[in-house]
Amino acid sequence: MEIDFATAKLRVLCEQHARMVGAFGLPCAKKLRNRVADLEAAAFVTEMVAGRPHPLKGDRLGQFAVDLHGAVRLVFEPDQVPVPRNADKSIAWNQVNKVRIVFIGDYHD
């Protein structure tokens, strides 16, 4: 799958191990590195199995998350135009093959 980043800071966090460790600690950094690799290896979002992948609701409707460590999540959204949709207008995650990472952290705060 293709991965883009909402900001340059997110790109650096996902591509530089030392920055990951500095920002989140070693256990979370390892999970982040693995989840990014999982995204790259998957053809579509629904092929993700590690990290309890799940679509989000409420103010994060249209986004998808995977668990990293504790309450820290990796959050991404489709980066395709047009966004693949089901008949009910929900996102067809089984057809999304390009994503944009938009957040890494605890969105529960």
What confidence tens digit (pLDDT) does each residue in 8-21 have? 999 999 999 999 99
What is the tens place of the pLDDT at every residue in 46-101?
Answer: 999 999 999 999 999 999 999 999 999 999 999 999 999 999 999 999 999 999 99
Sequence-distant (6+) residues with CB within 8 A of 30 are none
Which tokens sit at 64?
């998808």
pLDDT value for 25: 96
pLDDT value for 108: 78
pTM of the predicted model as reported, rounded to 2 decimal places = 0.94
Cα separation of 84 and 86, whole Å? 7
Q: What is the DSSP letter of 97?
A: -
- Burial of 58-74, coded b for 16+ CB within 10 Å and e otherwise, reads eebeebbbbbbbeebbb
Sequence-distant (6+) residues with CB within 8 A of 26 are none
